[in-house]
Amino acid sequence: MAGPSDKARFYLERSVSELNELERKKIFTKEEITSIARKRSDFEHIINARGSRPSDYTRYIEFEQNVDALRRKRIRRLGVKSTGSGQRTVFFLYNRAVRKFSGDLDLWFQYIKFAKREKAFKKLNEILTSVVRLHPTNPEIWIYAAQFFMDSQADITNARSYMQRGLRFCKNSQRLWIEYAKLETIYIGKIAGRRKILGLDVDRTEEQPEDGLGADGIALPKITAEDVNPSLGQDESVDEVALNNLASAPVLTGAIPIAVFDSAMKQFNNEPTLAEQFFDMFAEFGQLTCIHHILQHVVEHLQKASPQAVSTTVCAFQLQLFGFHPSDPSFPHALQTSLDILTTAMNESPKSKSRLSEVAIRKILLTLAEAEGIEEPALRRVLSASLRKYCRSLEDATKSSGDAIVRLAEILQEAGDASGATKLIRVTSQDWGTNERHAELQRVLLDT
């Protein structure tokens, strides 16, 4: 078996011709070539020795990237023909690194990011294939692979395949289930956007998922390759036909995200908090016409499976206001209905009072921000009165004297909602202004 020195010599000899050419074309001086060769020799002996670490490879790769950056600048300045390939050298080093330290995920992700930055998509596909084989129980890898194919390649087929395969190995990962549903929802948005650009968006009736299981046990509607991949067409007219076919397919009705949600509920025994996470994720896609139908499905599932759960009340409350703007004539009625839902739940379950009060406060603060500039003083008075009411309810539930309000304001501030935090502190200053933390936070917010 070859020793470390023999291995180092073998790899160093591979770069001799390249270094000679760099010197011959006067891209690097003889002294610089000698320095590069010496540095490479040091790195090769380190990484081939017993006890080497991933960080040794990282430093070697960083050195090669710096050499390549300098080589590129010299080539541009001298106007000579490109010589050498720093990209190939770095890929080779990363490949050696992950073979030796196949269990180091940080190293794998560095390799993936480099391939993505260099737009070496074929190589990236090979890397992702290798890493999921070695780490099939890590949900982050499956999510990253699926997002790459969706975001960079617009390839829903491969993205969906990675998610489905990931669920075989990581069926207990709640995040993987949510990300899969999100992927399918994003795809609906992309297809709807293309149809709108081409003027193909038409009125449609909603369809329910058909019976039948996908390859991994998730019930998916039957969709042809042309349905999910309009780019299969050879010209724009074929593309329009494929997109038009989607008008009669369930892909735009939200059937696939609903199927993923239903399967997740079966996997996790109808866990209400998980259903709430699905609801929050779906609610981010308010521009899609099918989202209200999806959210309604989630709420109906919660009301049937967990009618007394706090998550059920929270989702039902948010659904009542979903899609409404304070300027909408129907908003006051929707607001009253949603607040009635919270009040009823608080009366029936006093233990939920704290959580529901916080939900109401957050939503009212958001609504007040949206209502800025609207000539509806009566609406703002109602919102302000409701805000004070639920602030008192929160303090009563937590039996504190302003500490719960301060904690919520600090959370809002940390989340980047300084205006909401300021509004909350101002509204409650009359009731809890004597609280030292409340007074201090008010000074900080007003100063900023």
In SS3 terms, the chain reads as CCCHHHHHHHHHHCCHHHHHHHHHCCCCCHHHHHHHHHHHHHHHHHHHCCCCCHHHHHHHHHHHHHHHHHHHHHHHHHCCCCCCCHHHHHHHHHHHHHHHCCCCHHHHHHHHHHHHHCCCHHHHHHHHHHHHHHCCCCHHHHHHHHHHHHHCCCCHHHHHHHHHHHHHHCCCCHHHHHHHHHHHHHHHHHHHHHHHHCCCCCCCCCCCCCCCCCCCCCCCCCCCHHHHCHHHCCCHHHHHHHHHHHHHCHHHHCHHHHHHHHHHHHHCCCCHHHHHHHHHHHHCCCCCCCHHHHHHHHHHHHHHHCCCCHHHHHHHHHHHHCCCCCCCCCHHHHHHHHHHHHHHHHHHCHHHHHHHHHHHHHHHHHHHHHCCCCCCHHHHHHHHHHHHHHHHHHHHHHCCCCHHHHHHHHHHHHCCCHHHHHHHHHHHHHHHCCCHHHHHHHHHHHHC
Question: Are 121 and 185 contained in the same domain?
Answer: no
Q: For residue 55, which phi and psi values (nearest 5 degrees)? A: -65, -25
Quick check: is 57 in a domain?
A: yes
297-301-303 Cα angle (round to 5): 115
Q: Is residue 368 included in any domain, yes or no?
A: yes
Angle (CA) 117-118-119 rounded to 5° is 90
Q: Give yes or no: residues 244 and 202 share one domain.
A: yes
Q: Which residues contact 421 (CB under 8 A, 6 or more apart)?
A: 409, 410, 412, 413, 441, 445
pLDDT at 4: 67
- Please report the sign of the dihedral spanned by the C-alpha atoms of residue 120, residue 125, residue 228, residue 287: negative
In a shared domain, residues 52 and 111: yes
Q: What is the C-alpha to C-alpha distance for residues 295 and 282, in angstroms, rounded to an integer?
A: 7
- Whether residue 232 lies inside any domain: the answer is yes
At 260 the pLDDT is 95
436 neighbors 392 (Cβ within 8 angstroms): no
**pLDDT at residue 210 in the model:** 44
Cβ atoms of residues 333 and 309 within 8 Å = no
Query: Do 169 and 130 lie in a common domain?
Result: no
Structural domain harbouring 113: 1-135
Task: Measure the CA–CA gap between 206 and 194, rounded to whole angstroms.
Answer: 19
421 alpha carbon, distance to own chain's centre: 26
360 in a structural domain: yes
Domain for residue 270, yes or no?
yes
Q: Answer yes or no: is 170 within a domain.
A: yes
State whether 367 and 298 are in the same domain. no
* pLDDT for 307: 93
275 with 168, same domain?
A: yes
Domain boundary among 249, 280, 308: 308
Provide the domain count of the chain: 3
Q: Which of 355, 171, 182 is nearest to 269 (CA)?
A: 171
pLDDT of residue 244: 56
* Domain end position, chosen among 255, 273, 308: 308
Size (the chain), residues? 448
Q: Quick one: 114 and 189 in the same domain?
A: no
Residues of the chain with pLDDT under 50: 1, 203-216, 222-238
Query: Cα–chain-centroid distance for residue 100?
Result: 31
Do 276 and 156 lie in one domain? The reply is yes
- Interatomic CA distance for residues 277 and 258, integer angstroms: 14
Specify if 345 maps to a domain: yes
Q: Which residues of 90-125 are buried (b: 16+ CB within 10 A; e: fewer)?
A: bbebbebbbeebeebbebbebbbebbbeeeeeebbb
With respect to residue 319, please indicate whether it lies within any of the assigned structural domains.
no
Q: Give CA separation, 330 vs 212, 359, 386, in Å.
A: 41, 21, 18
Q: Tell the residue number behind the tokens 């309009």, with chain if given.
A: 230
Return d(Cα 329, Cα 338) in angstroms, integer: 16
The span from the CA of 294 to the CA of 278, in Å, is 10
Same domain, yes or no: 50 and 198: no
Tell me how far apart the alpha carbons of residues 288 and 186 are, in angstroms, rounded to a whole number.
10
Note whether 79 and 158 are same-domain residues: no
Whether 115 and 162 map to the same domain: the answer is: no
Same domain, 296 and 201: yes
State both tokens at 168: 């075989």
Q: Which of 277, 308, 339 is the last residue of a domain?
A: 308
